Amino acid sequence: MTQFLPDNLLSLFAARPPLPYLTPADELSINKKRAPVQGMAQYLQEFETEQRPLPEKVHIETRDEKRARRRKDKEELLAYKLEQQIAMWNPADNENATTDPYRTLFVSRLNYETTESRLRKEFEQYGKIMKIIIPHDKEGKPKGYAFIEFSHKSEMSAAYKKADGIKVDGRRLAVDYERGRTNKAWLPRRLGGGKGDTRKAREPRRDSREPDDHHSKNGRDHREERSKERDGDRHRRRSRDRDDRHNGRDRYDDRHRDRRDDRDRRRRDY
C-alpha cells in the first residue's frame, strides 16, 4: 500500500542513514598485549628480614567508659574535700554553742516559722531553760532545728524521754541529746554522718486491701475465664433450647399425623 502514497508521505517512512564509523580511542581489551604471569621469587630479596615492634594499640573510650571515669573522678574529688573538711571540723570551737553539751537537747523537724518563744513555751514544762539556739543559714533563713539548754541534766533527760513526737506548729518534732561535743566519733550530716532523713516525708503506708500488679493480673485472668465460661454456658443453653424446640415440633408433627390416620381409618370403616 505504501507504493501508492505520494512522495511527501513516502519521505516520512524513509530509513535513516547508517551511523558513521568512528575509530576507537583505545585499543580493545581483547587485543591488548599483557605481561606474562610470573612468580614472586625475584622479589623475595626485597622483603624485610628484621622484625620491628608493632605500634601500641590506641584505646578509645566509649561513652559509658567516659561517663564512668568522670563519675569516679568526681567521687574521688568529693571524698578528698570531705576528708579535708572532717579534719578541720571542731565542734568545741563554736562561739554560738551552748554552755554545757550534757544539758543540751537537740530538736529537729522544726517548722521554719517556729520562734524561740514558741519553743520556750512548749519545753518549759520539763524544766528551766537557760538558752535556745536556732541556727540560720547565710541568707538568714532557719535551718529547721534548734538546741535547748536546760539548767539541769535531769530536766534534759526528761525532755528527751517525753518530748519526742510532740506537735508544734503543725509538725511532729524529733528530739535527741547533743552528739557533736559528747560523742567523739560523731559527724554532722554534711560530712557523711547524721541520723538520717528526719525531715524527709515518709511514704504513705500501702493498704493491704489494694491488690498489687500480680494479684490484679491474676484477678483479671480469673474474670476473663469466668466470662468465657458464662459465654460457653449461654451457648450450650441456646443449643439445648433449639434442640427442645426442634424435638417438640417433631412430636407435634407425629401426633398430627396419627390423628389424621385415625380419621381416615374411621371414614373407611363408616
Q: Amino acid identity of 109?
A: R
The burial of 34, by beta-carbon neighbours within 10 Å (0-12 exposed, 13-18 middle, 19 or more buried), is given as exposed
Question: How far is the C-alpha of 113 from the C-alpha of 82, rounded, in Å?
Answer: 32
Q: Which helix (H) or strand (E) holds 161?
A: helix 153-162
The reported pLDDT for the residue numbered 49 is 79
What amino acid is encoded at 190 in this protein?
R
What percent of the chain is predicted at pLDDT more than 90?
Answer: 29
What confidence score (pLDDT) does residue 214 get? 47
Residue 182 confidence (pLDDT): 85
The more confidently predicted of residues 83 and 255 is 83
The tens digit of pLDDT for each residue in 129-174 reads: 999 999 998 898 999 999 999 999 999 999 999 988 899 999 999 9
Residue 261 has pLDDT above 90, yes or no: no
* Structure-model confidence comparison of residues 113 and 251, the more confident one: 113
The answer to whether the CB of 181 falls within 8 A of the CB of 92 is yes
What pLDDT is attached to residue 215? 47
C-alpha cell at 172: 511532729
Per residue in 50-69, pLDDT tens?
A: 888 888 888 899 999 999 99
Query: Which sign, positive or negative, has the C-alpha torsion 241, 246, 252, 258?
Result: negative
pLDDT level of residue 269 (50, 70, 90 thresholds): low
Q: What is the mean pLDDT of the chain?
A: 80
Show the cell assigned to 73: 573522678
Helix (H, G, I), strand (E, B) or coil at 132: strand
B/e letters for 194-219, b = 16+ CB within 10 Å, e = fewer, are eeeeeeeeeeeeeeeeeeeeeeeeee
* pLDDT over 70 (residue 118): yes
pLDDT value for 266: 63
Give 14-29 pLDDT, tens digit per residue: 888 999 988 878 888 8
Domain 101-179: CATH superfamily is RRM (RNA recognition motif) domain (3.30.70.330)
Cα–Cα–Cα angle for 202, 120, 116, nearest 5°?
75
- For cell 599483557, the residue is 34
| In contact, 132 and 147? CB cutoff 8 Å | yes
In whole angstroms, give the CA distance from residue 130 to residue 152. 9
